[in-house]
């Protein structure tokens, strides 16, 4: 056991003798020689955190503004999905890209295939869909639905007869303008 500790200490002293040398490049950047074959930057390049946007228009406005001196620079724009777009800088001398901006659209949840009561459906239809003639037609149809449930039971002591009726009615309303 003590031999292993002695060998480890001798190895540590040997490594210290060949200590990592700091080399300064012509541009003032400092590197250290990690293992006599590869130079590593002493203080790596800092990258800013990406900006977050919700619309492509806001991203275009930012890019055109020249705010961070990126107006005339080449950018890599990656469409990750229908809801996400990312913007990256060109490769730097360390062969790394800076993540400049990301756009994630805010899209409403449209509950297709699920039950909605009439009031919620009308509010949903008016707030999440574009104003058009088709929307007005669906809205007038949905607001004029009437569902009647009824049942009738006849019991004469010997037999029972039950009638269940479920009726969906579409009420038509006429709107008249008074002149």
- The DSSP result for 27-88, as a single string, is TS-EEEESSSS-EEESSPPP-PPPEEESSHHHHHHHHHHTTTS-SSS--EEEEEETTEEEEE
Q: Which of 70-74, 97-101, 125-129, 153-157 has the lowest mean pLDDT?
A: 153-157
Strands 160-170 and 99-104: unpaired
The answer to whether residue 176 scores a pLDDT higher than 70 is no
Q: Is the pTM above the cut of 0.75?
A: no
Residue % of the chain over a pLDDT of 70: 62
Strand partners, 77: 87
pLDDT grade for 118, boundaries at 50, 70 and 90:
confident
The answer to whether residue 174 scores a pLDDT higher than 60 is no
Residue 10: CB partners within 8 Å, gap ≥ 6? none
Average pLDDT, the chain: 76
Instruction: Give the pLDDT of residue 2.
Output: 64
3-state secondary structure of 142: helix
Residue % of the chain over a pLDDT of 90: 18
Instruction: Give the pLDDT of residue 59.
Output: 92
The answer to whether residue 28 scores a pLDDT higher than 80 is no
Average confidence (pLDDT) over 142-166: 66
On whether the CB atoms of residues 50 and 84 are closer than 8 A, the answer is: no
Instruction: Give the pLDDT of residue 3.
Output: 66
Average confidence (pLDDT) over 53-63: 92
């Amino acid at each position: 056991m003590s031999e292993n500790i002695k060998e480890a200490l001798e190895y540590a002293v040997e490594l210290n003798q060949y200590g990592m040398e700091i080399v300064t490049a012509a541009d003032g950047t400092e590197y250290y020689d990690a293992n006599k074959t590869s130079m590593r930057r002493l203080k790596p390049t800092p990258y800013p955190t990406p900006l977050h946007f919700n619309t492509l228009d806001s991203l275009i406005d930012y890019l055109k503004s020249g705010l961070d001196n990126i107006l005339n620079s080449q950018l890599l724009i990656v469409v990750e999905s229908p809801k996400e777009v990312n913007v990256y800088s060109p490769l730097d001398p360390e062969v790394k890209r800076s993540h400049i901006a990301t756009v994630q659209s805010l899209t409403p949840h449209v509950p297709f295939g699920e039950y909605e009561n009439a009031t919620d459906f009308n509010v949903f239809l008016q707030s999440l869909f574009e104003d058009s003639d088709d929307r007005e037609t669906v809205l007038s149809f949905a607001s004029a639905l009437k569902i009647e449930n009824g049942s009738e039971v006849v019991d004469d002591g010997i037999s029972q007869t039950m009638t269940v009726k479920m009726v969906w009615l579409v009420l038509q309303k006429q709107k008249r303008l008074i002149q």
